[in-house]
Structure 1
Amino acid sequence: MFVAATLYTPFARAELALEFVGVTAGKGQVMVSIWGSKDTYFKQAAWRAVYPVPPVLALDGRFSITITEPLPPELAVSVFYDANANNTLDTHWFGLPAEAVGSSNNVQGRFGPPAFKDAKVAYSGAPQSLVIHLNKLLSD
């Protein structure tokens, strides 16, 4: 006897477009992490990828990516602009990022990343887009 079963997965598959503002054409890369819960926030990403900044950007310095992987129904996005492409978030001697950072809802933390509850967005699985502004926390 053959029995078909459907496994429940909490992740929805659709298109999530992320638009990044605040990068320099042809310089460096953006490192994107998607977090699926408060418990895994900045511990274990649900999804992570690196995207080189294209040599030509839109007039206002934007570029976009589209994620088509299954994603959690509530998620937070964190991004940093790795301008020197060394695969590391460079920091000042006191620990604050020296490179531009951003998150979903464009929230910033005070002495660390923003709280998951502030950065989280609902993801229904329908096509959705987010604009993320990348900003340096301190000027050079």
Structure 2
Amino acid sequence: MKRSLWLFIVALLAMQLPAVSQIANAAEPEVAEIPAGSGSITIRITGLRSSDGNLSLALFNAKKGFPGKYERAVRKAQISVAGSQHVVVFDDVPYGTYAVAVQHDENANGKLDANFLGMPKEGVGTSNNPKSKFGPPSFDDASFVLDKKAMELTINLRYL
């Protein structure tokens, strides 16, 4: 009798294990696999209010430092605002998730000037052109996935 009770319990548990296992698998979030490789990111900057100064761009692959800590960026570029087109290309970028930040340093003093509240006096922009209510946009709002040989972004500068 004891043996048949144990067999019954084991059989009952064996029937429940697949259901428990399916629930655990269903709760795991799906993570899209990014293929191996690298590509180029072409960034067009629009909406400049003047042709003075420089544009600084930073490519980030993590939340840490985005959007204002350019020293934490994986790639950086600076171009003159002179001219009618403002394009920067980051070549040979490993596939992955990124966000771009742009600053228009109108007075070419090497920093983003801000008012007493910390709001930028000069133009700023990020990839995806997210609408921000208070403070800078988050990495998640500005992020995109590079998973092909070439992609193009347009960033519209905003002056607050």
TM range (shorter): 0.7 to 0.9
Determine if the alignment matches structure 1 residue 109 to structure 2 residue 137.
Answer: no
Larger radius of gyration: 2
Identity %: 29
CA contact (8 A) 1:11 1:70 kept: no
Q: TM-score, normalised to structure 1's length?
A: 0.77
Unaligned stretches of 5+ residues in structure 1: 1-9
What is the aligned-residue RMSD (CA, Å)?
2.2
Structure 1 segments of 4 or more deviating over 6 A?
Answer: none
Match of 1:74 among 75, 87, 97: 97
Match of 2:54 among 29, 47, 51: 29
Unaligned stretches of 5+ residues in structure 2: 1-34
Deviation at 1:24, TM superposition (A): 5.3
CA contact (8 A) 2:77 2:88 kept: no
Q: TM-score, normalised to structure 2's length?
A: 0.68
Please state which structure has a larger fraction of its residues in helix. 2
- Cα shift readout 1:12-52 (whole Å, capped 9, x = no counterpart): 53221100002256421111111102245345211112111
Distance 1:24 1:94, change over 3 A: closer
- In the alignment, what sits opposite 1:7? none
